Structure formats: C-alpha cells, structure tokens
Amino acid sequence: MRVILLGAPGAGKGTQAQYICKEFGIP
C-alpha cells in the first residue's frame, strides 16, 4: 500500500505520515 501525501513544504505531511503509519500499522 502506497500513500502519497500532496502539499506544500511545511504543510504537515510528516505529521500526517506518522499518523497514517500508526493508524494502518505501516512500518
């Protein structure tokens, strides 16, 4: 499963990625 987060730099993609990884159990 590959999730692509679009957004301007500093738009919180890193935080969203951490949340998604935690929610879906992605290592």
pTM of the entire predicted model: 0.39
Cβ partners under 8 Å of residue 3, min gap 6: 17, 20, 26
How far apart, in whole angstroms, are the C-alpha atoms of residue 17 and residue 14?
5
How far apart, in whole angstroms, are the C-alpha atoms of residue 8 and residue 1?
23
Percent of the chain with pLDDT over 70: 48
Q: What is the mean pLDDT of residues 1-27?
A: 73
Domains of the chain, residue spans: 1-26
pLDDT at position 7 is 67
Count of H-run helices and E-run strands, the chain? 1, 0
pLDDT at position 6 is 66
